Structure 1
Amino acid sequence: MRILILHGVNLNMFGRRDPAQYGNATLAQIDSGLEALGRELGVTVECFQTNHEGEMVERIHKVLDEEVQAVVINAGAWTHYSHAIADALAILKIPVVEVHMSNVHARESFRHNSVLSAVCTGSICGFGPASYLLGLRAARNAVIHMNK
């Protein structure tokens, strides 16, 4: 099983950006933890980060031509307004899990709305780097359930 992890805008700044919201883990540490959990679960994990919305859309489109069984995405601020990313995700016929390190519902009101949630299998937020690990487990379980 292969699961793609997508990190959006500014997420390359984890470890340097607002530790009260995001903690001190770097994106490299988060990716390393995902790869380790993937090995434990028998899942190949590929991680991709971009600060360019068009590149994110192109990477999602590329999934259609690959052997990817699920996607875990933290789109960052794009979560709240990128209909382009939502439309790209809607094309996929595989589980998509939305994750956020902070509890977006306990933050500024603009963060309470996700334009991605409607096209995702589920959402996880508020558990710091563990949100990604929970998202990976959820994506794997969704694939297994879908294939029964």
Structure 2
Amino acid sequence: MRDGKRSVLVINGPNLNLLGVREPHIYGSETLEDVINAGKAQAEAAGAHIDFFQSNWEGAVVDRIQAARTDGTDSIILNPGGWTHYSIAIRDALLGVAVPFIELHVANIHAREEWRHHSVFHDKATCVIMGCGVKGYEFAINMVLNHEKKFPAKESV
């Protein structure tokens, strides 16, 4: 919790800065900026705090997840992008901070190439949202803000 408000961290992995540009037939035309603006409005309307972080560098994501252990973050929404299939470092960071997280994918990874079907996160995620386009971010934010049993608020730091 931050300033008495539930605090959500949304992390976007590699190439998600290209939302709206990269393969719009798969990912849609909304940009990451659109996602961030909608998420901030949704959190504000719910009286919550939300941070967004995007990096194409795996170590930067590990560092941000580790910071969530002590910065008042109550829950994480992670769109790992290409790291879905192999990032043990990000998986270990998530396990190390013990902050509940949602695994999020704009596309349905099971409807794509076979090598994309495997996730190293799904067995540790509180829930997985995929295939809903960028609307999945709204669903994920709603989930963490309205399901206290699965996503309990931490005491203020």
Query: Could you state the TM-score of these two structures normalised by the residue count of structure 2?
Result: 0.89
| Pairing 1:66–2:86 present | no
- Which of structure 1's runs of 4+ aligned residues deviate more than 4 A? none
Which structure 1 residue ranges, 5 or more long, are not aligned? none
Question: 2: CA distance between counterparts of 1:83 and 1:141?
Answer: 29
| Pairing 1:93–2:98 present | yes
1:91 Cα deviation from its structure 2 partner: 1.4
Point out the more displaced range, 90-99 or 26-35.
90-99
1:93 Cα deviation from its structure 2 partner: 2.3
| Pairing 1:132–2:134 present | no
* Superposition pairs of residues 1-148 of structure 1, within 5 angstroms: 1-142=6-147, 144-146=148-150, 147=152
**Matched-pair contact (CA < 8 Å) for 1:70–1:140:** no
Question: 1: CA distance between counterparts of 2:18 and 2:108?
Answer: 18
Question: 2: CA distance between counterparts of 1:44 and 1:127?
Answer: 24
Where 2:60 maps in the other structure, the secondary structure is helix
**Matched-pair contact (CA < 8 Å) for 1:8–1:78:** yes
Structure with the larger helix share: 1
The number of residues matched between the two structures is 147
1:92 Cα deviation from its structure 2 partner: 2.5
Where 1:118 maps in the other structure, the secondary structure is coil
1:64 Cα deviation from its structure 2 partner: 1.0
CA deviation string 1:46-68 (max 9, x = no partner):
00000000100011011112111
Where 1:57 maps in the other structure, the secondary structure is helix
**Matched-pair contact (CA < 8 Å) for 1:104–1:126:** yes
Q: Which amino acid aligns with 1:18?
A: E
**Matched-pair contact (CA < 8 Å) for 2:19–2:32:** yes
CA deviation string 1:53-97 (max 9, x = no partner):
010001101111211100000010001110110111111222200
**Matched-pair contact (CA < 8 Å) for 2:69–2:99:** no
Alignment identity in percent?
35
Q: Which amino acid aligns with 1:56?
A: V
Query: Could you state the TM-score of these two structures normalised by the residue count of structure 1?
Result: 0.95
